[in-house]
Chains A and B, each alone.
Chain A
Amino acid sequence: MNVDSTQLIEQFAIETQEHLDAVEPVLLQAEWATPDKAATAALFRAFHSIKGLARLLELRGLESLANHVESLLGEIRAERLVLDAKLLPLLLEALDNIRQLREQGIVNGIDAEAPPSLLERLDAATRSAGNAAIETSPHIPGEGALHDDADTLAYFAELLCECLPNIGDLTGGDTAQIMEDLDVLMIGAERLQLNGLRNHLARLIAAPRSGQIDLIALVLADARRFGRIAGLDTGAEQALIGVMPALRQAMAATAEALEQTLSGDPAAAPALAERLLRLAAAGLNDGGLAALVLQSMGDEASRARVMPAVRLLATGFGPDATDASDFLAMEAERLREAMLAERPWAPQLRKALEGRAIDPDLLGEPDAEALRQLAAMLEGGQHRLMAVTLSLPPSAERPGLFDRLWREFHPALAQASVSAGIDVLAMLMVSSQTKAALRARVLDVYGEAVFIDVREFDSQSFDNPWARSKMATAGGAGVGDSQVRVPVEILDRLFGRIGEFFTISSALNVLIVDSQVPTILQRLTDHLMTAAPELVPGIDVLQRQQNDLSQIEAEVHRLVSLVHEATLGLRVIPLDVVFNRFPRMVREMARAHGKMVRFEARADGIKVDKGMTELLADPLMHMLRNALDHGVEGPEERVAANKPSMASIRLTAVQNGNRIAVEIVDDGRGIDSERVRLRAVAQGLVTEAESLKLSRDQIYRFIFAAGFSTADQVTDTSGRGVGMDVALINVSRLGGRIDVQSIPGQGTTFRLDMPLSAAMQTVLLAETSVQMVAFPERMVAEAATVSKSVVQYVNGQRAILMHDRFLPLFRLADLLKLPDTDSTQAGDDLAIIIVTTKQFRYGVEVERILRRHEMLIRETHPRISQLPGIGGVSTLGTDRIVLVVDQDGLTELARAAVVPGMRTAQRAAGS
């Protein structure tokens, strides 16, 4: 499900709930006092709004019902009707139905129909106002309705009620009347074009007596289904009573035949199993056993397993049996479990997938390769669940592509969808490869992909296409019930309190952990044993209570930590939410301009404060439009300039400590600074003389001047001189800046650099002897413990050999100039974090590598942010300050620290 529709549903849920909450008290009060004019008008408006919202979500049934209520209230508002004790129950019933339809729409995404009888009564009440001119909206049938006209369906249901109940007479009794009835039904079915039912009726009429029961069962099953869909009685239940003896007899006989067949002639078994289901579907209470038996006809092992079930069907429907439905249901449950347990990998894997918010039921029958991969993931290690999404070629090329992708990746799950207007394929796979490597492999298979996204699968993903569908969790908590709107100030206050609570809890934790009490008690016990044995029981009590205390403290601390963590996640949302709206926009604009563009948006799982996403969306949109309109050229111009005809626009976000940089990079024609200068002079932004003194960067700044435009023509998308100035204003409000770099003929880069007031980041925690340090995950290539003996000196520089390459090795404490109490590490091992940047790879030696951790990086105190190599600070559960390393800063420090000559040596050794 895409983000837009989820948000739409949430919005719908919240707003309709507000209307319903407003309506109910008014209606309830109406029992004692007739609502005044204002209250009636409010009721009218509420239902009117619900109608409009329902239409937005294409919930036709809800729309129709709200419309009927609105019409009735219209009459009351116009004082042609009085909201009295007669109308009130009707309105309350309508309200209940509206709640139900709304619930179904939200939870299950189902557009259910309103009960026709209710609509009719509402209409009748409205008509009773005596106003002939009122408009009743035509009945809007639900999607996939059996017939456009509800009256026709109701008429046919009545016909079924009249003609069906005596169908049992066919099996003995006066057949003339029932044959006539069946003829009538057949004509009705033909009129309604119920061809399936018509076919069954025709065959029943023509059938010899011996073959009738099967066809009667089919007709009854049809009637039951019709009744269920139309919400009407069809007389099928009544008919079943008359047919029951014959039906049970046929069922028992078939089961018996199947039992013999299963051990003798399995080829004939499926047909018998089909017959069991056919008979049962007439309305026998078999607990689904017949369907399960039919599903087990595939191979010998499954056939053998259903023997007890078949036996039970034979006896349960036999002449001597009374009601066996409980036994049948129990056996069905047992059989179902046995069938599902056929897949021994299932339980473990189900749990793993569920933990990642993936619907495990989607995982049909994975082949050996997929199972091997999934098993590797369960064992831990380097294997991770990766989601790869790519755009699809024209449909003619897809079968070939799918086949190649299948062979290359053996994805665990695959699904096609339309994302932002583009046909995309999403694959979920287990891989030990990096995102870049996976991306390269996709490009190997399909180089023309205009969009590829590779990300580690994360249950937080908003648009997880493998999430258990809402349809499948019917009855779960509705969005409407689980949504509350809370002002941000209240949240902030709450966060503050929880923060304090957390701090106190941490202090308590330290107190308990470092407590001397247990040791002292122990010493006292030892002493008192001899000195004053009568006091020992008292000490025992103290010890026990001390134990209880520390146990409870541990539990409290754990819970408080969880609460704390949960609150951190409340205000931050993935940047993807913003980025996801762009692919479609870019694609449509590119098409409108006749340009070919490969657009890539990567937020790399960065989460930002919600307020920030709202301020960022507009600037990014303007800048992307600008890149499309002015930046990239059309295919002919590009080919003429010796560039690939497909242009590229990339939107990426990178987090550096507590700053975030968003880049929009195009490979277009670049900015013509001379033209910008002339335009700026022409628009009076600067004098000719002054403009000649400006540097190119200074000239570029004119792009952000209000009303500035270099476009000769105003186009749909840009050139109106509005946009870039808005971008600058918004980014400034976020406390950031925009840089422009442009190389004529090669492209333009806009770089938005902003602080993050609060940003979640995954880090690798490590310790130096005095300080805990967090390495943002994206800068860590590898973390390893190696033996001290592998450290070598290359031209005077400490280095280690990793993957056939010498990497310079630095002590973190040295780089960051941290005080270092113990310079010689105990033990023979070194904990090393390999840091990788674009140009430089090096090892950082720490005292101990701890674990991965998700933490909130805070706005840094200016004094700390001045420290080279430090990007931010955070606190950890035990109330310890954690320094967050800044990738660029640390790399600078490492570069400065490297002993000259290392670079050449490294190359020599590496080649």
Chain B
Amino acid sequence: MPFRLLLVCCEQTLSHLLRDRLAGAFNVVGTATTPDEAIATARSVEADVILFDADLWKVEAVDLIAKLSLVSAAPILALSSHAAPGSLAGVAMLESGARSVVPKGRGQLPLDLSGERGEMLVAALTRAATP
């Protein structure tokens, strides 16, 4: 049984890209692109892990992480273009309830998801989802 994944990403192009990339390794049980949708879906859908793309939100991403961690029991993996190891943003996300933070390669849209970076993401998600 593949792990159930909830995908929260406000940027449509990346959301589609991630869904396509992860569909094989995970059972994508929901996607959300707005803060309201994210809260509602995280509440109603049973997931083993939430993939939260932290870029480009109109609201504070760390607040949304905190809210998601309150309304869902699933661990949250935050994907961010601003959260290189040691960055304040990464620390803030972890302290707001993210189980782990995965930095993106270059810019907000990882073009190389089909390669090694995609595999790293799958591995990190699997690790976070494993009880």
Contacts and interface: CB of A to CB of B under 8 A. Distances in A.
B86 A411 contact: no
A207 B98 CA distance: 23
Given A281-B95, A342-B85, A144 B108 contact: no
Nearest to A424: B13
Given A195-B72, A222-B70, A398-B17, A144 B36 contact: yes
Contact of B114 (A108, A281, A403, A412): A403
Contacts of A295: 85-86, 90-91, 94, 101
Interface string B43-80: 10000000000001011100110111111110000000
B72 to A, nearest CB: 5
A396 B60 CA distance: 31
B38 interface: yes
B81 A362 contact: yes
A277 interface: yes
Contacts of B34: 143-144
A225 B81 CA distance: 24
A483 interface: no
A110 B35 CA distance: 12
Contacts of B85: 295-296, 298, 302, 339, 342
Given A288-B95, A292-B86, A339-B85, A143 B106 contact: no
A399 interface: yes
- Of A414, A418, A466, A472, which is in contact with the most chain B CB atoms at under 10 Å from its CB? A414
A883 B107 CA distance: 43
Contacts of A193: 43, 71
A196 interface: yes
Interface string A185-209: 0000000011111111000000000
B89 to A, nearest CB: 8
Contact of A399 (B12, B21, B66, B108): B21
B63 A366 contact: no
B82 A402 contact: no
B29 interface: no
Contacts of B72: 195-196
Contact of B108 (A142, A195, A414): A414
B71 to A, nearest CB: 6
A440 interface: no
Contacts of B25: none
A399 B36 contact: no
B122 interface: no
A229 B106 contact: no
Contacts of B89: 361
A288 B83 CA distance: 14
Given A225-B70, A228-B66, A144 B38 contact: yes
B17 A402 contact: yes
Nearest to B16: A395
B99 to A, nearest CB: 8
A425 B16 CA distance: 14
Contact of A362 (B63, B68, B82, B96): B82
Interface string B96-123: 1101110111111111111100000000
A471 B88 CA distance: 14
Contacts of A277: 94-95
B111 A226 contact: no
A292 B36 CA distance: 31
Contacts of B13: 392, 395, 398, 416-417, 423, 425
A229 B69 CA distance: 12
B111 A146 contact: no
A364 B69 contact: no
A405 interface: yes
Contacts of A415: 107-109
A406 interface: yes
B70 A196 contact: yes
Contacts of B109: 402, 414-416, 425
Interface string B1-42: 000000000011110110011000000000000111011001
B21 A229 contact: no
A414 B72 CA distance: 31
B84 A194 contact: no
A80 interface: no
A199 B94 contact: no
Interface residues of A, number: 76
Given A146-B71, A193-B43, A398 B16 contact: yes
A399 B16 CA distance: 9
Contacts of B112: 402-403, 406
Interface in A309-338: 335-338
A146 B38 CA distance: 11
A363 B70 contact: no
A340 interface: yes
Given A291-B95, A340-B84, A425-B13, A366 B106 contact: yes
B76 to A, nearest CB: 9
Given A221-B97, A403-B112, A414-B111, A196 B69 contact: yes
A272 B115 CA distance: 31
A365 interface: yes
A292 to B, nearest CB: 6
A108 B59 CA distance: 9
A88 interface: no
A453 to B, nearest CB: 17
A469 to B, nearest CB: 8
A364 B84 contact: yes
Nearest to A365: B105
Contacts of A423: 12-13
Contacts of B73: 195-196, 198-200
A452 interface: no
B86 A338 contact: yes
Contacts of B99: 274
Interface string A353-376: 000000001111111001000000
Given A403-B114, A415-B109, A340 B87 contact: yes
Interface in A430-489: 466, 469, 471-472
A276 B110 CA distance: 31
A416 B11 contact: yes
A83 to B, nearest CB: 36
Interface string A218-262: 000110011011000000000000000000000000000000000
B82 A406 contact: no
A403 to B, nearest CB: 5
Nearest to B58: A109
A336 B17 CA distance: 32
Contact of B111 (A195, A338, A343, A406): A406
A428 interface: yes
A473 to B, nearest CB: 12
- Of B16, B105, B106, B113, which is in contact with the most chain A CB atoms at under 10 Å from its CB? B106
Contacts of A398: 13, 16-17, 20
- Of B66, B69, B70, B101, which is in contact with the most chain A CB atoms at under 10 Å from its CB? B70
B70 A110 contact: no
A842 B66 CA distance: 65
A111 B59 CA distance: 7
A111 B73 CA distance: 27
Contacts of A221: 97
Nearest to B99: A274
B86 A143 contact: no
B71 A412 contact: no
Interface of B: 11-14, 16-17, 20-21, 34-36, 38-39, 42-43, 56, 58-60, 63-64, 66-73, 81-82, 84-91, 94-97, 99-101, 103-115
Given A336-B88, A398-B20, 15 more contacts: A144-B35, A196-B68, A225-B97, A281-B97, A294-B100, A338-B86, A339-B85, A365-B106, A403-B112, A406-B115, A416-B11, A416-B109, A425-B13, A425-B109, A428-B107
10 contacts: A225-B97, A229-B66, A291-B95, A292-B91, A295-B90, A364-B107, A402-B109, A414-B107, A414-B109, A417-B13
In order of increasing CB-CB distance, the 8 nearest A-B pairs are A144-B35, A339-B86, A416-B13, A413-B107, A199-B73, A225-B66, A291-B94, A406-B111
